[in-house]
Amino acid sequence: MVGWFVISDGVHKAKNWERADAEIYDITSYRNSDGDTSYTAWVTFDTGGETYKGRLDYWESGMHKGQTVQILYDPGNPNNFVSVGGMHFLIIILTLLSAAFTIAGLLLFVSKGPFAGR
């Protein structure tokens, strides 16, 4: 159910939001108590004569300052934006998880269901 909501939300954004190029202007890192390092890319983009800045919703190895990434932004509120790449990754992951649970459920039904042992 959650996967369907995320996918339909992504489709809505792809149809109704505007696409723009954003430039990575900074990359910050954070080390947690386990010693693992997390990175955040910060982007800037222009639309309607205004410049907007914000946190990119994903990080990918190899990203660097000055790199251009594609985003989708809400034309009514350009501060609300998502990366095109991050959204595709999320849809792929949720689709694979949905398929895995569907197959597992079907296998369980066939092995334990009303047709088992016939």
Closest residue by Cα to residue 9 from 114, 70, 68, 94: 94
For the chain, the helix, strand and coil percentages under 3-state DSSP, each to the nearest 5: 35, 40, 25
Sorted by where each begins, the domain ranges of the chain are 2-112
* pLDDT above 50 for 8: no
* pLDDT above 50 for 7: no
Q: What is the pLDDT of residue 118?
A: 58
* pLDDT above 50 for 6: no
What are the pLDDT digits (tens) for 77-103? 999 999 887 545 555 565 667 777 788
* pLDDT above 50 for 4: no
Q: What is the pLDDT of residue 106?
A: 76
What are the pLDDT digits (tens) for 37-72? 999 999 999 999 999 999 998 888 899 999 999 999
- 11 pLDDT tier (thresholds 50, 70, 90): low
Q: What is the pLDDT of residue 94?
A: 59
d(CA 114, CA 90): 36
Q: What pairs with residue 39 in β-bridges?
A: 29
